[in-house]
Amino acid sequence: MSHLPSVRGLTTAEVAERVRRGETNAYKARVGRTYWQIVRDNVLNLFNVVLFTLLSALLVIITGFQTAIAQESDSAFISDLDWSPDGTLLAVAVSTARDEPDCNYTLTDSYAVRLIDTASGAVTATIDSDSSCSIVAVDFNPAGTQLFTVAFGGVYEKWDIASKQRLQAVRIYSLFLGGSWNPDGTEVMIFHTPGVLIYDQNLIDPPLTPIPLDLRSNDLTYAIWSPDGSKIATSYANGSVDVWNVTTGQGLVTFQGHTSSVLRFAWNPVLNVIASGDANGTIWVWDASSGQAISQLAGLTGAIRDLAWRPDGQQLASAGADNTVRAWDWPSGQMQIVNGNQSAWAVTYSPDGSKLAYGGEDDSIAIVPAPTTSTPIAFTSARDGNLELYRLTGTATTRLTNNAVGDAFVDW
């Protein structure tokens, strides 16, 4: 049988000696904690702080964000938007007097252009125009190094993005409605009710090409370049839209499907079709080569304030006076409401088509994920030189160019 070793405790003298030498175990029992100590130890710890930060960033990525643009005037609103080609910046044009652009010489700061970081929504720079009138258009050049701005009071300017400095300002005593770079960045176009003026990128006067618009009784409302820069389309208060040859100024085709003033239109970047919207809320999609109507997009009850195609040409976004921002799949025409309570005046897609930005009367910009296309379309060139469209449904495809969508708009 084994024997346990004898165990002897310390004597009183030994304990006293060890205490004298400082050889003790000091422990203070914690019998209770305050509410703040409980919250600090269990909620505000490092793990939870890191987790909350990551979830907040993920929420912004998934749902987008909205950022306020501070104004001096309650009447100020967002009149135009444009993404930089690399997608990192959003240029914001600020105007006043919602019914029509205004010149108010006491509120010059209200007519500045804001540059927004599209990742955070923060305003990174404010560009003060040389005009005391509303800024009606902003447009990055294709390289993303310069910004072109147009003021209602007849001032158009070029800005260096890196330095935020004005490169050039030209004042013409006319009421401009808008303007933009051509697709290769070698020319700029401005337009006002009497017509369209095209200038060299250095804004040298006289203009290279004045588009003749004498037959329209000086009622031009909007103008845009074709995706290849060889044509310009112009719209009018009588409801018609013309397509012109940029080099010769020759009229090529006229679309006359609208019954009220055409306010905005957009040229599909992939297909040769134009979507145009009028004061009654009607959107027509039509062949830019023949002027033949293809489809009418219904459902809006107010004027169309802006239109934009997604870069892949398969979705159209609209901003309407019925306080909706909508997205329409093309060519199916299926509609999604992006925001049903937003009085937006401007809408635009990011260069990669993944995000949609819009802004309007509440002086704020929303950047949200672009709606997904329910029925994606594949584009292939047919042997006869036309473009074939296929709806992708799982592993099967359906040819669309011989059905109700029509062959009129598929000339390659």
- pLDDT of res. 72: 37
Strand extents, DSSP E, 172-314? 176-181, 187-192, 195-200, 209-211, 220-225, 231-236, 241-245, 251-255, 262-267, 273-278, 283-287, 293-297, 304-309
- pLDDT of res. 410: 32
**For residue 367, is pLDDT > 50?**
yes
Q: Is 71 or 366 the better-scoring residue by pLDDT?
A: 366
pLDDT band at 273 (very low <50, low <70, confident <90, very high): very high
DSSP assignment string, 39-52: HHHHTSSHHHHHHH
Residue 206, preceding bond cis, omega within 30 degrees? Answer: yes
Verdict on whether the full-model pTM lies above 0.75: no
Q: CA 304: distance to chain centroid?
A: 16
Which residues are registered as beta bridge partners of 277?
264, 283
Average pLDDT over residues 92-110: 55
Taking the CA atoms of residue 165, residue 167, residue 169 and residue 170 in that order, the dihedral angle to the nearest 10 degrees is -170
Report how far apart the first and last C-alpha atoms of the chain are (Å, whole number). Answer: 103
**For residue 63, is pLDDT > 90?**
no
Average pLDDT over residues 81-106: 74
pLDDT per residue as tens digits for the range 108-141: 344 578 899 998 888 899 887 766 677 889 999 9
Residue type, 204: I
**For residue 16, is pLDDT > 60?**
yes
In this structure, how many other beta carbons lie within 10 angstroms of the beta carbon of residue 169? 16
Average pLDDT over residues 293-309: 91
Query: 32 is written with which tokens?
Result: 């209770």
Ordered by where they begin, the domains of the chain are: 55-370 (2.130.10.10)
pLDDT band at 352 (very low <50, low <70, confident <90, very high): very high
Can you give the length of the chain in residues? 412
